[in-house]
Amino acid sequence: MEVTKAVIPAAGFGTRFLPVTKAQPKEMMPVLDKPTIQYVVEEAIAAGIEDILIITGRGKQAIERHFDKSYELEEALEAAGKTDRLNRVEEIADLGDIHYVRQKEREGLGDAVRYAEKHVGENPFALLLGDTIIESDTPCTQTLIEHAEAHDVSTLSLERVPWAQVSSYGVADADIDDDTDLTDESFPVSDFIEKPAREDAPSNLAITGRYIFTAEIFDALDATEKGVGGELQLTDAIRKLTDIRGVELTGDRYDIGTIPSWLRANIEMSLQYDDGEMNAAVEEFLQERFR
Ligand code: UTP
């Protein structure tokens, strides 16, 4: 298989972040000076993908505007000699070939993925959640693509989470011990359990928001009934796939869907920001605040 397309669902209501998400998409929440979904698009591009489909919905127009060319703004920045900001703005419109399709009703992540079928056809594709940033030396999607192409099967990025948190995630049933070194290896996964109680969890390997699917996922979604919350759950469809592998995530994952996790993304990423000013300012503030 060869993965050349990516799908980014970004149509959810973002209810956990209301009221800020009432009129602005959760995926446009800024982390430092970029909206979250720009990091996601950049990860796909860095993984070699040039064809991106974003699943949007009502009230999500800001996403399309962000990736569009902005002639008036560019002219104004140029006239003002603000070259640095001009370059940053111009880079955005050069980010690959971005297409959009609207999810008509918010019926869950699984339903959102179904809207990609016409665009991707029989091809395998990468799925990147629009509200999750993953920072790693090799883009997470690139690692996944390499493993998926090597085995010719759907492959998911999985992260070892603290056992106390397994009930917040979809968790993999894989024949793996707590201390097995998974670096550079992909491994077969026999099943997934959505949000298990600690004692029922088959592992602490949680789904992270990055996937490679073969077109088999669309048949699996068609054969899946609505589940928890009356939504079509992607995990329920994944369980129907005949063959699936996992890869352990090696980078830092920031799900920006709640206020604490969004704040954490901003603080941690500002400390790593390599401009010599922002990281120093944030570090100084934190040291003062917690002295
Ligand atoms: P979430 O479940 O985290 O997003 O979906 P949500 O539903 O917007 O958030 P809450 O629970 O109401 O706070 C993960 C990703 O899937 C997309 C979201 O936009 C998010 O990027 N999604 C979710 C869809 O595209 N459509 C849906 O029906 C649901």
Let me know: does 277 contact 221? Beta carbons within 8 Å.
no
For residue range 266-283, what is the model confidence (pLDDT) as tens digits?
999 998 877 778 888 888
233: left (phi > 0), else alpha (psi -120 to 50), else beta? beta
pLDDT of res. 185 = 83
| Residue 136 shares a structural domain with residue 40 | yes
| Residue 97 shares a structural domain with residue 164 | yes
For residue range 187-215, what is the model confidence (pLDDT) as tens digits?
999 999 988 999 999 999 999 999 999 99
Ligand 1 centroid to 11 CA: how many Å? Answer: 6
Q: Which atom of ligand 1 is nearest to the CA of 231?
A: 28
pLDDT of res. 25 = 96
Ligand 1 centroid to 63 CA: how many Å? Answer: 15
| Residue 204 shares a structural domain with residue 127 | yes
Nearest in space to 233 (alpha carbons), one of 132, 121, 113: 113
- 111 Cβ closer than 6 Å to some ligand 1 atom: yes
- 15 Cβ closer than 6 Å to some ligand 1 atom: yes
pLDDT of res. 42 = 96
Distances (CA, A) of 156 to 36, 87, 153: 21, 35, 10
| Residue 128 shares a structural domain with residue 214 | yes
- 127 Cβ closer than 6 Å to some ligand 1 atom: no
What pTM value is reported for the model? 0.94
Q: Report how far residue 182's alpha carbon sits from residue 179's, in angstroms, rounded to the nearest whole number.
A: 9
State which of 109, 226, 232, 235 you would mutate to test the pocket of ligand 1, scoring each by most atoms of that ligand within 8 A of its C-beta: 109
Mean pLDDT, the chain, integer? 92
- 112 Cβ closer than 6 Å to some ligand 1 atom: yes
| Residue ranges in the chain whose pLDDT is less than 50 | none
pLDDT of res. 194 = 86
Domain range for 225: 5-255
| Residue 238 shares a structural domain with residue 274 | no
Tokens 């070939």, residue located: 97
* 219, HSE (Cβ side, Cα atoms, 13 Å): 7
| Residue 161 shares a structural domain with residue 139 | yes
| Residue 240 shares a structural domain with residue 268 | no
Q: Report how far residue 254's alpha carbon sits from residue 131's, in angstroms, rounded to the nearest whole number.
A: 8
| Residue 172 shares a structural domain with residue 205 | yes
| Residue 170 shares a structural domain with residue 232 | yes
Query: Partners of 134 in the beta sheet?
Result: 253
| Residue 279 shares a structural domain with residue 181 | no
| Residue 149 shares a structural domain with residue 278 | no
Give how many domains the chain has, as a whole number: 2
Ligand 1 centroid to 129 CA: how many Å? Answer: 8
| Residue 168 shares a structural domain with residue 31 | yes
- 63 Cβ closer than 6 Å to some ligand 1 atom: no
- 144 Cβ closer than 6 Å to some ligand 1 atom: no
CATH number, residue 228: 3.90.550.10
